[in-house]
Chain A
Amino acid sequence: QVALRESGPALVKPTETLTLTCTFSGFSLTTTGMCVNWIRQPPGKALEWLARIDWDDEKIYNSSLKTRLTISKDTSKNEAVFVMTNMDPVDTATYYCARVREGGGSGDYMDVWGTGITVTVSS
């Protein structure tokens, strides 16, 4: 059974760096076509895609946030790690990781999501 779980701090201060870990089971990030996305959702607002890492270590980022984002993976631990620098109160949101199937093609889709982690940015 496929499952993903986000972990990390619930509270960060402005200007600090946020590091979140997505620990998954039921699939491998070494399998062709498998990817992991990070998505966030500010309170009461729509979903916003952040970054993706692929089975072949290819990475893509939201162009508006690219300079602040880094995504990586540790296939031995079944983890995908997301880093966002210079956090601001507007970055307060629930952050999700999700498995991507058929990654790399326009028909890919996010079929299983983690439950999300709420991150508040406040001094």
Chain B
Amino acid sequence: IQLTQSPSTLSASVGDRVTITCRATDSRSTWLTWFQQKPGKAPKLLVYKASVLADGVPSRFRGGGSGPEFTLTITSLQPDDSATYYCQHYHPTEYTFGQGTKLEIK
């Protein structure tokens, strides 16, 4: 299974709402995970099982969708949201990551 994220880069302003899409090549894909990664840091879990918010993650982040298309929506953008976002899927015996979406806050 391959994951394709769009867009690859995104520029938005504080207060904006943005949506990142992750498309899987297998329409039977059920669950998806989203991570946030800042430069020089390890990825941080944001959303798992497509829509479950991880502990401590602000409610401005929302995961949605179902196979093969999933979304990560961030509302009321904050400067701290500047990061690269990755989707990830687990299919028996293999994990796959998307290529990443770099979000810049203007």
Contacts and interface: CB of A to CB of B under 8 A. Distances in A.
Interface residues of B, number: 26
B25 interface: no
A109 B92 contact: no
Given A47-B43, A106-B91, A111 B97 contact: no
Interface in B37-58: 37, 41-45, 48-49, 54
B42 A116 contact: yes
Interface residues of A, number: 22
Nearest to A63: B94
A109 B43 contact: no
Contacts of B76: none
B11 interface: no
A62 interface: yes
A37 B95 contact: yes
Contacts, number: 58
A82 B6 CA distance: 33
Interface string A28-65: 00000000010100000011110010000000101100
B97 A108 contact: no
Contact of A62 (B92, B94, B98): B94
Contact of A108 (B37, B90, B98): B90
B97 A109 contact: no
Nearest to A62: B94
Contact of B43 (A63, A107, A113): A113
A63 B93 CA distance: 9
A10 interface: no
A110 interface: yes
A113 B42 contact: yes
A112 B54 CA distance: 11
Contacts of A46: 86, 97-100
B96 A49 contact: yes
A110 B31 CA distance: 13
B42 A49 contact: no
Interface of A: 37, 39, 46-49, 52, 60, 62-63, 96, 106-116
Chain A to chain B: the 7 pairs with minimum beta-carbon distance, closest first: A49-B95, A109-B48, A113-B42, A47-B97, A107-B31, A46-B99, A107-B49
